[in-house]
Each structure stands twice: as structure tokens, then as C-alpha cells.
Amino acid sequence: MENVQVIKQRFGIIGDDPKLNRAIEKAIQVAPTDISVLVTGESGVGKESIPKIIHQLSHRKHGKYIAVNCGAIPEGTIDSELFGHEKGAFTGATNARSGYFEVADGGTIFLDEVGELPLTTQVRLLRVLENGEFIRVGASEAKKTNVRIVAATNLDMAEAIRKEKFREDLFYRLSTVDIHLPPLRERKNDIHLLFRKFASDFAQKYKMPTVRLSEDAIDLLESYRWNGNIRQLRNVAEQLSILETRRDIDAQTLRHYLPALGSQLPALTKPNSQSEFSSEREILYKVLFDMKSDLNDLKKLTMKLMENSNAKEVREENKQLIRKIYGQEEDISFEDEMPETTKEPVSLIPVAQHHEPQHTDKYDFAEEIEEEETLSLQEKELELIQKALERNSGKRKLAAKELGISERTLYRKIKLLEQ
């Protein structure tokens, strides 16, 4: 079995961090087997090197090695890309096509960003892992394949499973062995080594002297957070090599190439789960509960209006309720200054006639409403408005005063009830 240093030289891996060495050791150990491997780590840490090591050190090294970026393939075509399709399976399928699992038979498939796979594709992949079978899109006959699957993801898989975006059974089949690559900020002693390697490569590529960092620039480089990890470090080395005329780089110069999201910012933390909505369903529930609360307040006000003849108190409560619901005072002022001559009798929409006897008490019809439990709040409000208009000969101003609401609010309610 080859040792870690030989493997790092063979595959161009720079660094001597213990966590990095442990990840490479695990890759060397599992390579001769056929068990599936899941490589985890942040974006840009170099996860693509691990499946190459596993493939080259396995008995499948003479077979095909296919790397598939699952996040870059549209959801509508990913099944066809992975498992193939039959002629006429969908619009544009003019010929039958073999998928990656069929082409890589006897070799290794690297599924990068496996956490982005649609749930339907995850079911198909689970079948391949369990018994090596797959079905082309549009076919009815299962085919066999013998491939080694190595997957990689930068997602929090436990969170994806909790949100039902990734199948738990598939996760356990993929992660028979989990190899984690540490982020660059946890490999501080490797950061300058990597920068020197990149600077040397770009100097040869662009035929110019190699850039070098001063001591304060090295300190800044190693204290920076590097959210983009090795990929971001490589980009910074390339920019310095091309744009800077001076080959000696100090901290002040280097700082211009580092985004503000530096080491001064703390690591992102997860929000409080008690205040976070875990799904859109919970958001909808909250909206419905708020609406229910508003309707209950409106119902209490309406019942108090039917039972209480103190119009001033009711009008004040009505103002507060409308402010709560609509968040404005535009429609809650009483328009007492409007002349009565401008008011016309208002006719309501036809309603079922109950041939009630005439009552002399102001709101003695409330007992009948309470007995009819099946009546909706809207029907009660309609009947209340109709009674007030009848008692005031259809004049909105007088009816609104009696109901304890503004004439404009009464007019809007009549319009809503007529629809």
C-alpha cells in the first residue's frame, strides 16, 4: 500500500495538515474494496481529488472514471444522463442513448454535489446501490451495471434529511465510509505553501517573475477566513501575479485582493430553531392563526354592538380594531361634516326574508341570531347593517352612527356584501 506522501506527490496535493493526511489515509484504505464513499467538506476544499485516488488505487483503475456534477444538470434531463433513455421516450429523443451508469460499467462514477439530486432520481440511485439495477427512461426492462460510486457534497446532509430534501436510506448507503476534508482556515500552516505553489505555477504560465509575500502579508494570508477555500486562494494568487507590477507583496497590497468577508467576521451560526420556520406550512399556519384572532376580535365587537347601546364606546373599540387589521387610519374617521342632502337611500342585495315580527327594542333581534348557530359572521354583519339602514330610512350617515363606524367604512362593507 502506497503511503500518504507518495500519494500527495502523485496527485499534486499540497499540505501536511493532520486532518488532510487522515482523509488521504482513509481513501487509500478503502480503495481496494467496492464499498461506496461519501466525501464531505466545504466548497473549494478539493473534494474531487479523493475519488481519483480511490479509483487509481482500486482494481477498477483500468475501467472508466466518470465525474458527474449533479448540480449542473437540469432536473428534467438528469435521469436520462445517468441512466440513459429509449428512442421516443420524450420530445427530442430521436435515438436511444446509454447513460453514465451503463458506460462506466466496471469502472467508477463520481457524483459531485449529490445533495442536489431530485428525489425521483434518488430513488433510482438507491436501486443501483442495492442491487446494481437501473432502468432507462422510457424502458420497461431493467439493466445491470457494476460500478463503484463515490459521492461528494458540501451540504449539511442531516439538515437536508430533516427538511426531506434527501432520502435518509440513500444517505446511509452512500456514506458507508465518510471522508471529510477540512476547510482551509483549519489548515493555517498549509495556506502559505499553497500560495507559493500557485504563484510559481502562474509565473511559469504567464512567463513572469514569481510574486513573494512579506512577513506581514503572510500573517494576513493565514489569518484570513477563506470562505472559498483553496479555489479562492488560487484566484488571489493569479490576480496578484497578473495585476501587480511589483513582485514583493506587502499586507497593504494584499488586503486590496481580499473581500471584506475576512477573518474579522465570526463564523456563521445557525438561527434559533424556535423562531425559525422549518417549512412553508408553518408560515401558512401562523397567517391563518393571525386571521382567526382578527376575526374573533371582530365577532366580539359585533356582539357587543348588538348588546350595548353605548355608541361612543363601541365606535372607539371599532377604531382600534380597524387600526390593528388595516394598519392605517384612513377609513376610520367619522365624516360628520358631509351634508345629509348628498346621501341617497342604499339598497342591499336581496336576502332571504324571514317574515319577522316588528320589534320595538333596539337590538332585540340578537337573541334570534344567537340561536341560529349555523349563520356565518358575514351573514350576521349583513343583517345588522340592513336593520340599521331600515331604521334610518336608508341614510348611511345615521346608520353608520348607530353602528359605531364611519360612513366610508359602512359603504365599503356594503360594496363587499353586494359582490
**Long-range CB contacts for residues 30-33, cutoff 8 Å, separation at least 24:** 30/54, 30/177, 31/55, 31/56, 31/57, 31/58, 32/57, 32/58, 32/59, 33/58
Q: What is the pLDDT of residue 385?
A: 81
Which domains, ranges and CATH numbers included, belong to the chain?
Answer: 4-182 (3.40.50.300), 185-255 (1.10.8.60), 280-418 (no CATH)
**Residue 343, SS3?**
coil
| Whole-number pLDDT of residue 199 | 96
Question: What is the per-residue pLDDT for 214?
Answer: 95
Are the beta carbons of 399 and 388 closer than 8 angstroms?
Answer: yes
Does 376 score more than 80 pLDDT? Answer: no
Query: In the predicted model, what is the mean pLDDT of residues 118-125?
Result: 95
pTM over 0.75: no
pLDDT, position 366: 46
pLDDT tens digits, 31-62: 999 999 999 999 999 999 999 999 999 999 99
Report pLDDT for 282. Answer: 63
Nearest CA to 134 out of 85, 71, 89, 90 is that of 85
More confident residue, 108 or 368: 108
Q: What is the mean pLDDT of residues 408-412?
A: 79
pLDDT digits (tens, 9 = 90+) for 263-308: 444 444 444 444 444 556 566 766 776 777 777 777 777 776 666 6
First to last CA, the chain: 82
CA 341, CA 329: separation in Å to the nearest integer? Answer: 26
User: In the structure, what pLDDT confidence band is assigned to residue 310 with cuts at 50, 70 and 90?
Assistant: low
Position 267 scores a pLDDT of: 43
- Residues in contact with 27: Cβ distance below 8 Å, sequence separation at least 6, in sequence order: 7, 37, 50, 53, 54, 57, 179
